[in-house]
Copies of this chain bind each other. A is one copy, B any other.
Amino acid sequence: MPERAGDGPEELDAVRGDVRAVVDRFYAAFESADLDAMREIWLDDDRATCVHPGALPVRGATAVGRSWALMMANTPYLQFILTDVDIAVAGDTASVTCTENVLTAEEGGPLDSFGAGQTVSTNVLVRTEHGWRLWVRHSSPVVSAQVLSAGDDDDE
């Protein structure tokens, strides 16, 4: 399927901007431990799916919200520096992959509850009547940074 049927580069840029705004709201909600804001970002039905680093999938908006409450209760102050952000669009769905570099205020302590300072995440958003919502998130610790990514397409 085309990125946007009948749409030109300007429309695609607008979609990317809308999607990026929701992703930015997601990280702001995570950083500020704002559970209400976090819940608003997610698709509000049983398709919502979240794989936290090292964990099994959590499915359904209710369970996903609970998992974020647990995450926020067990995570120290943190700040995300996103790098290598890529937004790919297919119709009314967008996939955002990025590397999350986590900074924490706990000097000398573990960087986060997963013991990793760098995670890679896939965030899949879907366009709804209420705007773009986070449908699927999969996050995982980076343990072998360059082995399989050294072959990225040269033309990108």
Q: Which residues of A approach B to under 8 Å, CB–CB?
A: 1, 3, 46-47, 49, 51-60, 62-63, 66-67, 70-71, 84, 86, 88-93, 95, 97, 99, 120, 122, 124, 126-129, 135-136, 138-149, 151-153, 155-156
CA A115 to CA B122, docked complex, whole Å:
23
Q: Which of B46, B97, B124 contacts A51 (CB under 8 A)?
A: B97
Task: Please give 6 more A-B residue pairs, beta carbons under 8 A apart, in addition to A54-B144, A56-B120, A58-B152.
Answer: A47-B95, A49-B88, A55-B145, A56-B99, A56-B145, A63-B153
Q: Are A1 and B126 touching (Cβ within 8 A)? A: yes
Tell me the bound Cα distance from A147 to B1 in angstroms: 38
Interface centre among A67, A120, A139, A153 (most CB of B within 10 A): A153
User: How far, in whole Å, are A147 and B114 apart by their CA atoms in the complex?
Assistant: 12
- The 10 closest A-B CB pairs, nearest first, are A140-B140, A60-B153, A54-B143, A47-B88, A56-B149, A138-B138, A93-B93, A55-B148, A122-B138, A66-B151
Q: Given the complex of chains A and B, what is the CA–CA distance between A57 and B142 in angstroms?
A: 10
Across the interface, name the chain B residue whose C-beta is closest to A148.
B55
Closest chain-B Cβ to A129's Cβ sits at a distance in Å of 8
CA distance A84 to B57 in the complex (A): 9
Q: Does B86 lie within 8 Å of A57, measured CB to CB?
A: yes
15 contacts between A and B (CB under 8 A): A47-B90, A49-B88, A53-B140, A54-B141, A56-B120, A56-B149, A57-B120, A57-B149, A63-B151, A67-B151, A70-B151, A93-B126, A124-B124, A138-B138, A140-B141
